[in-house]
């Protein structure tokens, strides 16, 4: 999968890290695929082949957003669990 090159850039010049970053961010992985990959990461169970596939197709911006959402949901679930346990304990 290749992305179109910037017509203003000289093809003979070496690629810069900015060019590589633009290419990575332009990936077309869906946000649902990213949520699934992040969920597997939170569980800590993912095959190596699946991990390599995720790295090659997911947009890093989507991964960051999905990670933040997942972390917020995890912390919220922990807070609710602690409140429920504290409320049900004799006291």
Could you tell me the pTM of the whole model? 0.64
Q: Would you state the pLDDT for residue 69? A: 94
Handedness of CA 17, 6, 63, 54 (dihedral sign): negative
User: What is each CA distance from 47 to 6, 14, 35, 42, in whole angstroms?
Assistant: 36, 35, 16, 14
Per-residue pLDDT of the chain (91 residues; tens, 9 = 90+): 455 555 555 566 677 877 766 776 666 778 888 888 888 888 888 777 877 887 788 888 888 999 999 999 999 999 999 999 999 988 6
- E strand or H helix that includes residue 74: helix 60-88
Q: Would you state the pLDDT for residue 68? A: 95
Q: Retrieve residue 52's tokens.
A: 């390599």
């Amino acid at each position: 999968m290749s992305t179109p090159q910037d017509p203003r850039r000289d093809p003979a010049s070496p690629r810069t890290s900015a060019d590589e970053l633009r290419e990575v961010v332009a990936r077309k992985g869906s946000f649902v695929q990213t949520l699934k990959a992040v969920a597997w990461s939170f569980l800590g169970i993912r095959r190596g082949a699946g991990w390599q596939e995720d790295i090659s197709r997911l947009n890093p911006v989507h991964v960051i957003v999905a990670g933040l959402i997942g972390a917020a949901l995890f912390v919220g679930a922990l807070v609710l669990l602690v409140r429920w346990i504290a409320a049900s304990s004799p006291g």
